[in-house]
Amino acid sequence: MLIQSPEQLAAFDRTGLGRSDPTRRVLLCPPDHFQVADVHNVHMAGQVGAVDPAVARREWLALRATIERIGLGVETLDPAAGLADQVFVANPALLGLDRDGGPLALISRMRYASRQPEVAPLREWAERQGARLIEIPAEVPGTFEGGGDAIWHPDTWLLWGGVGPRTESAVYRHLSNTLDLPIALLNLVDERFYHLDTCLAVIDTQRAAIVRSAFDTAGLALLAAGFEELIPVDEDEARTRLAGNLYCPDRRNVLLPAGAPTTAERLRAAGLTVHEVTTDEFLKSGGSVYCMRQGICW
Ligand code: ARG
């Protein structure tokens, strides 16, 4: 079922699914070949060739160290030459847990040709992990950029799906039917927030941080029905620092793009521990903390 109104969301019984999904490990891909090679979002304009590989590596190592410091294991994909965006491991699939608790991977169909070769290595990794693979059949039109646009509601058999420049609703219809999975659709209306993970970050079953201006009225109503509390990400910090791309893997610690003091303060006021992570080289590509990792729940 595709959910597009608060009434539909209210009618959906979230209880009793027996799903439990703490993030146990985090998948990363070292930035060995990271660069802004071609422009496929507004943040990348004027940045072709501008990434300093040594600085990018330092920032990535610090991100990795922060993840380890909060107690999560790290797995890495082997970076492949020529894949300039492979560091953004959130996109070529969405990992999750099936209803029976088994490993699940929804395999993406990337919008841009330069990113399409990222899919096979992540698919193979998931296959080696024994995950059930869900592929988009050829007859289903449209693209789907995995964890960039599709975000699990914590501990619930419910997916939030961003509809925008990278993912189309036909794919959500297919995934919803195939998995008998309710998917709540959110239109992305600002080109700066081109993936859902740039403007929605779930904290726990009741709370999420959002960039309000990235959504339309219907989307804001749906989010208000889905969460008891919506923590607003500061609009300037969301635009300039991708503060909305924060990552909360354990309902306690938040990894926040550095340089977002107003958002940091709001998260602290909500009782969360904030770890600022510098991702300036990755911001040149329109990505930050959340895009650079993929949570593994098995
Ligand atoms: N340069 C990448 C792209 O435009 C950045 C991807 C960021 N990923 C994300 N999940 N927001 O595809």
Tell me the average pLDDT across 280-294.
Answer: 98
User: Count of domains in the chain?
Assistant: 1
Whether 15 is in a domain gets the answer no
Decide: 148 in ligand 1 pocket, CB within 6 A. Answer: yes
pLDDT at 18: 45
Query: Whole domain around residue 258: which residue ranges?
Result: 2-10+20-296
Report d(CA 37, CA 84) in Å as an integer: 7
Top-confidence residue, 22 or 66: 66
Whether 101 is in a domain gets the answer yes
Task: Give the CA distances from residue 71 to residues 26, 164, 171, 251, 275, in Å, rounded to whole numbers and listed in that order.
Answer: 10, 34, 35, 13, 13
Mean of the per-residue pLDDT values of the chain = 95
Tell me the average pLDDT across 103-109.
Answer: 97
pLDDT at 269: 98
Whether 29 is in a domain gets the answer yes
Whether 52 is in a domain gets the answer yes
pTM of the model: 0.97
Amino acid residing at 31: P
Going by alpha carbons, the residue nearest to atom 9 of ligand 1 is 291
- Here the CATH number for the domain that contains residue 30 is 3.75.10.10
Tell me the average pLDDT across 58-73.
Answer: 98
Whether 92 is in a domain gets the answer yes
pLDDT at 155: 87
Whether 159 is in a domain gets the answer yes
Whether 140 is in a domain gets the answer yes
Query: Which tokens sit at 36?
Result: 């802004």
Tell me the average pLDDT across 75-97.
Answer: 97
The pick from 35, 41, 48, 116 for probing ligand 1's pocket by mutation, whose C-beta has the most ligand atoms within 8 angstroms, reads: 41
